Amino acid sequence: MRIISIDAADDPRIAAYRDIRERDLTGREGLFIAEGEVVLRNLVSSAGLCRPRSMLIADKRIAALEPIIAAAPADMPVYSVGQAVLDSVAGFPLHRGILALGEKPEPEEASAVLDRLGEDAVVVAAEGIGNHDNIGGIFRNAAAFGAGAVLLDDRCGDPFYRKSIRVSVGAVLRVPCPRPLPLADLVETLKAARFEVIALTPSATEPLAALRPGGRRALLLGSEGPGLPQGIIDRCRPVGIAMAGDFDSLNVAATSAIALHQLTRASGLRTDGEFSPRGIGGEAIAPIR
Amino acid sequence: MRIISIDAADDPRIAAYRDIRERDLTGREGLFIAEGEVVLRNLVSSAGLCRPRSMLIADKRIAALEPIIAAAPADMPVYSVGQAVLDSVAGFPLHRGILALGEKPEPEEASAVLDRLGEDAVVVAAEGIGNHDNIGGIFRNAAAFGAGAVLLDDRCGDPFYRKSIRVSVGAVLRVPCPRPLPLADLVETLKAARFEVIALTPSATEPLAALRPGGRRALLLGSEGPGLPQGIIDRCRPVGIAMAGDFDSLNVAATSAIALHQLTRASGLRTDGEFSPRGIGGEAIAPIR
């Protein structure tokens, strides 16, 4: 059995799980913490992108979580603790009752990731996104609409931050995310790989709603404050989301959801005008939560 | 001058601002706290929907915030304090430097709000949304796409909760939100007001992308966990968002963004197939942040 009972919060075998929140701030050197049943299900089914190193589970939840444990690598230790020990180790009441320590994948070069994608692939690219909720939301939307990758510039936050993983419902652990590049290099790399780069920007005169799915495309999202630099927009196809006009703006993750729905095959409207109720993966409409 | 300098954190005139976070949990009896420059700009321009009762501003920010102060009611007191006093009153470092205390509007009946709306009005209706980020996100999207109202059922959280207001960027203070109703009554009220009720649900076979703007419509969103009850879906037009199929789901606020973009005039595609790059309010494309 890989299930190892632990009685003391200071047991060295679970030291990596100690004071989760404080360590969020200092980083984890190639490792990440994932929490909750749905996220861990995505971790163990991530097709080898991220390797789980261990799990820490409240003893009363072991039986219910057996399918997730069974899907993890056979040699991966599962530490079982009482709820009080779990709360004490984590540093706060951990109602979800399940944590995993995982190894971040070694990031690939963007060009290598892009070269593997198909002729109708859609990817998301983002500049200067610091907010972890927004990073998580962008990954969740990318996964929901089957985007081939999320490419971050070198001013974005770390998607493997605990909160981003949680908000993404584990999508961070499944969607390829190449090594970050400076924004200008990112745009050139996309163009060299024959992706049309669509810059979502309020300065555009072409509305998103006029576009249809088709061809290799990158949806480029700007930072929450200043947005994309004009010099970058000039090298892309600028497209905007028409709004009511008397209110401020859309959140960047909401923008990604709208653009992905409009420009992936999952939108159900093909370029030839033919109707398809099925998504990219050939599956019917997926759950909305 | 309405600007009143205050030196002590325990001054009774600013008692309502004390320990903001603790009071979030106990409620404020008809009042709400708004924070930050953009939110307060929406508060003072909310066309009388919500009345600001006072503001509390870090003295060093008074000059920069003069336009917002000038737009508030002339008899409304503006309390000016040093940053240290502000942090002490609020109970945490308040970098935004500006707070307002406002009066929640007396909620109108849903039927009265709906009767006032035009023949192409789109409204959002939601059931059982407890998460304050999601409530705020739904209001922000509703404002961005010019929805005529957000109708919550009696199991939703309070949109005037401080975090919901902040995430909505003040949209909660501007978009009409009638008195909550039980879900079944809400659906009947919408139908009685000649709104087609579109239930966003993964069980639908009709994809959202096949729909075009036109006529009075309500977009009905289910709770994050179980979704809409089948008995309710049966009384609506069920519509789903086609996805990649190998990933879980969309967040409910992201769902509202996609559906509003698809079904408002702001989508830039009119039912007659004519192209319009302008939004509902006649304004050009608004900022994306």
Provide the number of structural domains found in chain A.
Answer: 2
pLDDT(A268) > 60: no
Q: Which domain holds residue B124?
A: 110-267
Any bridge partners for residue B287, and if so which?
none
CB-based contact B236:B199 (threshold 8 Å): yes
Residue B246: per-residue pLDDT: 67
B55, B78 in Cβ contact below 8 A? yes
Q: Judge whether residue B281 has pLDDT over 70.
A: no
Is residue A282 included in any domain, yes or no?
A: no
> How many beta carbons lie within 10 A of that of residue B175, not counting itself?
25
- The residue with tokens 């109108």 is B108
Q: Say whether both A118 and A246 belong to one domain.
A: yes
- In the stretch 56-115 of chain A, residues with CB closer than 8 A to chain B read none
- Residues A18 and A88: beta-carbon distance below 8 Å: no
With respect to residue B289, please indicate whether it lies within any of the assigned structural domains.
no
Residues of chain A contacting B221 with CB distance shorter than 8 Å: 288
Using CA atoms, how far apart are residues B66 and B3, in angstroms rounded to an integer? Answer: 11
Residues 146-165 of B with CB under 8 A from A: 146
Tell me: pLDDT of B277 over 90: no
Hunting for tokens 């991966």 — which residue is that? A76
Q: Provide the residue type at B46 as one letter.
A: S
Question: Does residue A286 have a pLDDT over 90?
Answer: no
Is B84 part of any domain? yes
A286/B249 Cβ within 8 A = yes
Q: Is residue B280 part of a domain?
A: no
- Let me know if residue A278 belongs to a domain: no
Is residue B28 less than 8 Å (CB to CB) from chain A? no
Q: Is A12 on the interface with B (CB under 8 A)?
A: no
pLDDT greater than 90 at residue A81: yes
pLDDT computed for residue A266 by the predictor:
63
Tell me if B57 sits within 8 A of B79, measured CB to CB.
Answer: yes
Least confident of A234-248, B181-195, B208-222: A234-248
Judged by CB atoms closer than 8 Å, whether chains meet at A288 and B258 is answered as no
Label residue A288 by pLDDT band (50, 70, 90): very low
**Contacts with A262 from chain B: Cβ below 8 Å:** 261
Q: Could you report how far apart the first and last alpha carbons of chain B are, in Å?
A: 36
Same domain for A114 and A75, yes or no, is no
> Which pLDDT value is given to residue B45?
81
3-state DSSP assignment of residue B89: helix
B285 inside domain: no
Asked if A289's CB is within 8 angstroms of B248's CB, the reply is yes
Is residue A288 situated within a structural domain? no
At residue A225, the pLDDT reads 79
CA-based nearest residue in chain B for residue A241: B285
Residues 175-194 of B with CB under 8 A from A: none
pLDDT at B229 over 90: yes
Q: What percent of chain B has pLDDT over 70?
A: 90
Among the partner-chain residues B208, B261, B288, the one whose CB lies closest to the CB of A200 is: B288
Q: Residue A33 is part of a domain; what is its CATH number? A: 3.30.1330.30
My answer on whether B161 and B196 are in the same domain is yes
The per-residue pLDDT for B47 is 66
Q: What are the helix (H) ranges across B45-182?
A: 66-71, 83-90, 110-115, 132-144, 162-167
pLDDT, residue A272, reads 38
- From the list B249, B267, B268, the residue facing A144 with the nearest CB is B249
Nearest CA in chain A to B136: A251
| pLDDT reading at B171 higher than 60 | yes
Across A13-22, A156-165, B25-34, the highest mean pLDDT is recorded for A156-165
Contacts of A245 in chain B (CB under 8 A): 146, 278-284, 286
Q: What CATH number should be reported for the domain holding residue A127?
A: 3.40.1280.10
Smallest Cα distance from A193 to chain B, Å = 23
Question: Mind telling me how many Å the CA of B162 is from chain A's nearest CA?
Answer: 18
Query: What is the overall mean pLDDT for chain A?
Result: 88
Half-sphere exposure of A225 (CA within 13 A, CB side): 4
Render the burial of B25-44: b for 16+ CB within 10 Å, e for the rest.
eeebeeebbbbbbbbbbbbb
Q: Could you report the predicted ipTM of this complex, rounded to two decimals?
A: 0.89
Of residues A5, A142, A151, A57, the one with CA closest to residue B254: A142
A210 phi and psi, to 5 degrees?
Answer: -85, -10
pLDDT at B240 over 90: yes
Q: Would you give the distance in Å from CA B54 to the centre of its chain?
A: 21
Q: Picking from A184-198, A207-221, A240-254, B177-191, which range would have the lowest pLDDT averaged per residue?
A: A240-254
CA distance between the termini of chain A: 36
pLDDT at A252: 96
The confidence score (pLDDT) of residue B268 equals: 47
Closest by CA to B99, choosing from B172, B2, B8, B19, is B19
* Sequence letter at residue A235: R
Classify residue B97 as exposed, middle or buried by CB count within 10 Å of its CB (0-12, 13-18, 19+): buried
Say if residue B286's pLDDT is above 90.
no
Same domain, A131 and A261: yes
- What is the band of A280 on the pLDDT scale with cuts at 50, 70, 90? very low
Same domain (yes/no): B90, B116: no
Residue A36 near chain B (CB below 8 Å): no
Q: Give the residue from chain B lying closest to A227, CA to CA.
A: B289
A22-58 pLDDT, tens digit per residue, is: 887 777 788 999 999 989 998 988 766 888 999 999 9
Q: State the pLDDT at residue B249.
A: 82
Task: State the sign of the Cα–Cα–Cα–Cα dihedral B161, B167, B170, B176.
Answer: negative
- How far is A206 from chain B, CA to nearest CA, in Å? 7
d(CA B241, CA B221): 12
Q: Is B281 on the interface with A (CB under 8 A)?
A: yes
- Residue B69 amino acid letter: I
Residue B269 has pLDDT above 70, yes or no: no
Please check whether residues B170 and B235 belong to one and the same domain: yes
A7 touches B at CB < 8 Å: no
Residue B53 covered by a domain: yes
Q: Which of B140, B209, B284 is the closest to A269 by Cβ?
A: B209
Alpha-carbon distance of A128 to B122, in angstroms, equals: 34
Partner A contacted by B274 (CB < 8 A): no
Same domain, B129 and B253: yes
Q: Which pLDDT belongs to residue A19?
A: 87
The DSSP annotation for B130-145 comes to --HHHHHHHHHHHHHT
What is the percent of chain A with per-residue pLDDT over 70, rounded to a whole number? 90
pLDDT in tens, B85-141: 999 999 989 888 899 999 999 999 999 999 999 999 999 999 999 999 999 999 999
> Final residue of a domain: which of A80, A103, A126?
A103
Chain B residue numbers with beta carbons less than 8 Å from the beta carbon of A199 are: none
Same domain, yes or no: A191 and A128: yes
Q: How confident is the model at residue A244 (pLDDT cuts 50, 70, 90)?
A: confident
pLDDT of residue A47: 66
Size of interface A-B (CB pairs under 8 A): 255
Ramachandran bin of A214, using left for φ above 0, alpha for ψ from -120 to 50, beta for the remaining angles: left
For residue A263, pLDDT over 50 is answered with: yes
Q: Does B251 touch chain A (CB under 8 A)?
A: yes
C-beta atoms of A286 and B243 within 8 A: yes
Write out pLDDT tens, residues A178-208.
Answer: 999 999 999 999 999 999 999 999 889 999 9
Per the CB < 8 A criterion, the answer to whether A131 and A224 are in contact is yes
**Pairwise CA distance, residues A71 & A67, whole Å:** 6
Q: Mean pLDDT, chain B, as a whole number?
A: 88
**Nearest-CB residue to B245 (from A133, A174, A281):** A281
Would you list the DSSP string of chain A?
A: --EEE---TT-GGGGGGTTHHHHHHH--TTEEEEESHHHHHHHHTSTTSSEEEEEEEEGGGTTTTHHHHHHS-TT--EEEE-HHHHHHHHTS--TT-EEEEEEPPPPPPHHHHHHHS-TT-EEEEESS---HHHHHHHHHHHHHTT-S-EEEBTTSPPTTSHHHHHHTTTGGGTS-----B-HHHHHHHHHHTT-EEEEE-TT-SSBGGG----S-EEEEE--TTT-S-HHHHTTSEEEB----SSS--B-HHHHHHHHHHHHSGGGSB-TTS-B--S-TTS--PPPB-
Pick the more confident residue, B40 or A281.
B40
- B95 three-state secondary structure: coil
Find the mean pLDDT for residues B160-185. Answer: 95
Q: Using pLDDT thresholds of 50, 70 and 90, give the confidence band for residue A209.
A: very high
Interface of B with A in 210-249 (CB under 8 A): 210, 221-222, 224-225, 227, 240-249
Q: Is the pLDDT of residue B278 over 90?
A: no
Give residue A289's pLDDT: 36
Residue A255 and residue A261 in contact, taking contact as beta carbons nearer than 8 Å: no
pLDDT above 70 for A254: yes
Clarify whether residues A133 and A93 are in a common domain.
no
Are B158 and B244 in the same domain?
yes
Same structural domain for residues B79 and B142? Answer: no
In degrees, rounded to 5, the angle at the alpha carbon of residue A106 between the alpha carbons of residues A101 and A111 is 140
The reported pLDDT for the residue numbered B248 is 58
pLDDT at B288: 36
User: Are A135 and A18 in a shared domain?
Assistant: no
